[in-house]
Amino acid sequence: MNKWRQPESGFSWFYQRFLNNHITILLLNLFLFLLVVHGLVQNAGLLDPVWRFIGIAAPAIIVAGILFYVLDPFVHFMERRLHIKEGLAITIALVLTIAILVLIFLSLIPFLTRQTASMIGSLPQFANDIMHQLNQANQQHHWLTNDNLNEINQRVTTYFSKRGWNLLTGTLSSIGNVVTTVSDWVITLITAPLVLFFMLKDGSRFPQFISRVVPTAYRDRFIVMLDQMNVKVSSYIRGQLTVALCVLIIFTTGYSIIGLKYALLLGVIAGPLNLIPYFGSAIALLPALIIGAITSPSMLLGVVIVYLVEWVLETQVLSPLIMGNSLEMHPITIVFVLLAAGKMFGLTGVILGVPGFAVLKVFVITTFHWYQEYSALYPDVLPDNEALTTTPTPDAPEPPTPAPKK
């Protein structure tokens, strides 16, 4: 009965119920954290040098990080199977990557540039073809008068001719305004290989290095958390790049088979856009549908068939085989992450929002598990070290002993 007795002092009751309460301490820590965040937001100008440094270093780190997850298995293969030393294996991987990129830029980029210029120059003709088909449909169904059709035709033709010319000339005239952007890309191209080299060389030692700033009691858990983040991000990046390359090949091959104009350009557009989950392929389909509709009804049907074949192969074969369920995220969650990341960070947020959310999810889950173990609010959850050393209680039945061998 003593444990149910109320304390004699009011201060001790207040201390036990409020000051010495785990939920109160949690709310107080949360309040202090939000107070610090509010102070940082109010004095955001003090962080301008930090944001500028991040803006300069982030592109090189992102490019090097993506290439790291692509080349790391190849480097390990050369080390373990071919018995090549680490430095030489990294050098071979970098040289092959640079050679492939240079070959792509020298052979593929000029061809795609010519196709892009040809497509932009054909926009007025596309508009005339669309209006011609509308005229034929209107003669059969009498939707609009001839005056209305002529006015619409003139406006559409003028709009596409102006837009096409602006796209072509605006790109050329804006060269003088993008000097800083070009310089940033030059800096990225110079520094990214250096960053990539040291990532490939010291990437496996990075968790141990960064864990030195973590208290010893939480160091093992922190390393496990970094390993889980690495697995999530690596599986997502490698899977997405592989699926995007397969989508590029499927669309290019399919459009070439049905004889669609600009097949390679449309396939190259569809591949990178497929990095946007759920929406990328649908966005890439729009220009193909327009070109197919202008060409002929049979070509439009062929574009739809190619898309359906690609959709079946991607959703039923490629994604389950390559990606699996590595992120363990519900599709609705991915949709909301894409919407929020796109609104806040634009195209970069759309592409990097899902792996970023996966990393944040691992951090939140690890933090919550730590809170479950040490907050005393979840008595059924034991710390890892206690769970491993806990012996069965006397009331628990002992496991049966195996019968002696005869």
What is the residue-level pLDDT of the chain in tens, covering all 406 positions? 444 444 444 456 656 666 666 677 777 878 888 888 888 778 777 777 877 877 778 888 888 888 998 898 899 889 888 888 888 999 999 999 889 888 888 888 788 788 777 777 776 766 676 666 666 666 665 555 566 656 666 666 666 555 555 544 544 444 444 455 656 677 777 888 888 888 888 888 888 888 888 888 888 888 888 888 888 888 888 888 888 899 999 999 999 999 888 888 898 888 888 888 777 878 888 888 888 888 888 888 999 999 999 888 888 888 777 766 666 777 788 888 888 888 888 777 877 888 888 888 888 888 888 877 776 666 666 555 444 444 444 444 454 555 554 4
Amino acid making up residue 161: S
d(C-alpha 127, C-alpha 154), whole Å: 10
pTM of the model as a whole = 0.69
| Alpha helices (H) in 43-85, listed in sequence order | 48-80
CB 353 within 8 A of CB 338: yes
- The SS3 of residue 73 is helix
Residue 62 lies in a domain: yes
Alpha carbon 245 to its chain's center: 15
Answer yes or no: do 152 and 283 share one domain.
no
CB 251 within 8 A of CB 291: no
Answer yes or no: do 300 and 263 share one domain.
yes
Answer yes or no: do 156 and 254 share one domain.
no
Single out the residue of 7, 369, 6, 400 nearest to residue 218, CA to CA.
369
Answer yes or no: do 219 and 194 share one domain.
no
pLDDT at 63: 87
d(C-alpha 184, C-alpha 63), whole Å: 13
The DSSP letter of residue 15 is I
Indicate the number of domains in the chain: 2
| Angstrom distances, CA of residue 156 to CA of 168, 169, 289 | 18, 20, 18
CB 253 within 8 A of CB 85: no
Single out the residue of 307, 301, 359 nearest to residue 329, CA to CA.
359
Q: Which domain holds residue 327?
A: 214-379
Residue 28 lies in a domain: yes
Q: Show the tokens assigned to 123.
A: 């926009």
Answer yes or no: do 316 and 356 share one domain.
yes
Answer yes or no: do 254 and 349 share one domain.
yes
Residue 244 lies in a domain: yes
Q: What is the DSSP track for 350-367?
A: HHHHHHHHHHHHHHHHHH
Cα 300-305-308 angle, rounded to 5 deg: 130
d(C-alpha 221, C-alpha 208), whole Å: 12
Burial 65-79 (b: 16+ CB within 10 A, else e): bbbbbbbbebbeebe
Answer yes or no: do 195 and 233 share one domain.
no
Residue 5 lies in a domain: no
d(C-alpha 171, C-alpha 161), whole Å: 15
Answer yes or no: do 249 and 127 share one domain.
no
Q: Where does residue 322 rank: exposed (0-12), middle (13-18), buried (19+ CB within 10 A)?
A: middle
Residue 1 lies in a domain: no
Answer yes or no: do 342 and 258 share one domain.
yes
Answer yes or no: do 198 and 219 share one domain.
no
Answer yes or no: do 223 and 292 share one domain.
yes
Answer yes or no: do 194 and 222 share one domain.
no
Extract the runs of DSSP E, i.e. beta strands, from 105-169.
none
Residue 98 lies in a domain: yes
Residue 88 lies in a domain: yes
d(C-alpha 118, C-alpha 246), whole Å: 26
pLDDT at 114: 81
CB 318 within 8 A of CB 246: yes
Residue 11 lies in a domain: no
Q: Show the tokens assigned to 69.
A: 């997850």
